[in-house]
Structure 1
């Protein structure tokens, strides 16, 4: 397809992403471009068919953005990622996929920087994470501190059965939500176990409701 031929430009665009993120571009059937990262390589080649079960396949099939964990059954390498389909004249013609390494394997703690040093905090003890300035603040049982990773990075590190992104500035542990209240139009307000009130923004409200099934 003519629109996918400028691979030099795609390489330049790829430089906008972290070296830990692989980028894949497909048309409606096959991959046409792939740039592996230093951390994860799915061994995709231009011309390969889009595999059933992959993020690209899910995005092409649904017509919507997909964010998910894919186990090793598809590419023999587990990964997290996000795929977005793109359209032309109302028809899906391809997808772009950002591929993140599966950091959670064998990992069950968040290292939190405090005034005295670093403390390993079990996932289950983390109440919520919040963007504060250029750092991520971590609030947990008996521990309050920071981490250098971005909230977006944590979104692909923390186990999905515990943590949900509810706002551009917050990820919450669902086991620490005490109550959920309706707030302004199409938004929600969370009362956490420590009494903190955290907003669910309009852009995340539908996603939040779907994940928690209410």
Structure 2
């Protein structure tokens, strides 16, 4: 059970860090603080992310990684905590001399203003390694713990994961599913399948599913 003093300290620290990070934090950001394997503070400027004080810290979360390693962690996370994917940045802090974690929670398509996106991706095929211009890539797929990307009928393999790529790709690339990132320049249509779930068809007539957890973010970005 947390004391009033810890609650007050957590609130003051959150306000302090929000002031420090204000130059790059987007309006849709949220702040959480975890201590003793539970969240003791949460503040959000959007209904997109909601978290109750007292919620246990899950093992696959940014907060757990920070509390365990006592180091800064940033990662793209799945929908386990908020029922939708998010990008989390965690910082180790001390509250009354006890190890805690301050977490900045950001939309899944957030990118740092000063971070230049990659302009090519090197892939391996039967003929060796080939650098491919990023604008020529139609979509990227995670399959059997391997990452593949496709351009004009050619398939390439890369060792970079979808989570890592999502942080480095230009804004025309959208995560639509746990297994897929697409280049919106190659979208032909977005429709619903027989079960009313959204799906996207690319200009090569490849149809890919849109996961329900990504629909809201995608509709906001593409305005439909």
Smaller-chain TM-score bracket: 0.5 to 0.7
Tell me what 1:133 maps to. 144
* Alpha-carbon contact 1:164-1:174 (below 8 Å) kept: yes
Deviation at 1:141, TM superposition (A): 2.4
Partners of 1:186 and 1:55 in 2: how far apart?
A: 33
Matched length: 158
Q: Secondary structure at the match of 2:204?
A: coil
Q: Secondary structure at the match of 2:214?
A: helix
Tell me what 2:45 maps to. 61
Q: 1:116 to 1:29 in 2, by over 3 A?
A: farther
* Alpha-carbon contact 1:129-1:139 (below 8 Å) kept: yes
* Alpha-carbon contact 1:31-1:48 (below 8 Å) kept: yes
Deviation at 1:56, TM superposition (A): 9.4
Measured on the aligned residues, the alpha-carbon RMSD in Å equals: 3.9
* Alpha-carbon contact 2:188-2:203 (below 8 Å) kept: yes
Deviations along 1:23-54, whole A, 9 cap, x unmatched? xxx9445359xxxxxxxxxxxxxx64543242
Q: 1:29 to 1:195 in 2, by over 3 A?
A: farther
Unaligned segments of structure 2, at least 5 residues: 4-8, 31-43, 51-73, 77-86, 90-100
Tell me what 2:182 maps to. 172
Q: 1:198 to 1:106 in 2, by over 3 A?
A: closer
- TM-score w.r.t. the length of structure 2 is 0.57
| Pairing partner for 1:197 from 182, 202, 207 | 207
Unaligned segments of structure 1, at least 5 residues: 4-25, 33-46, 67-78, 85-93
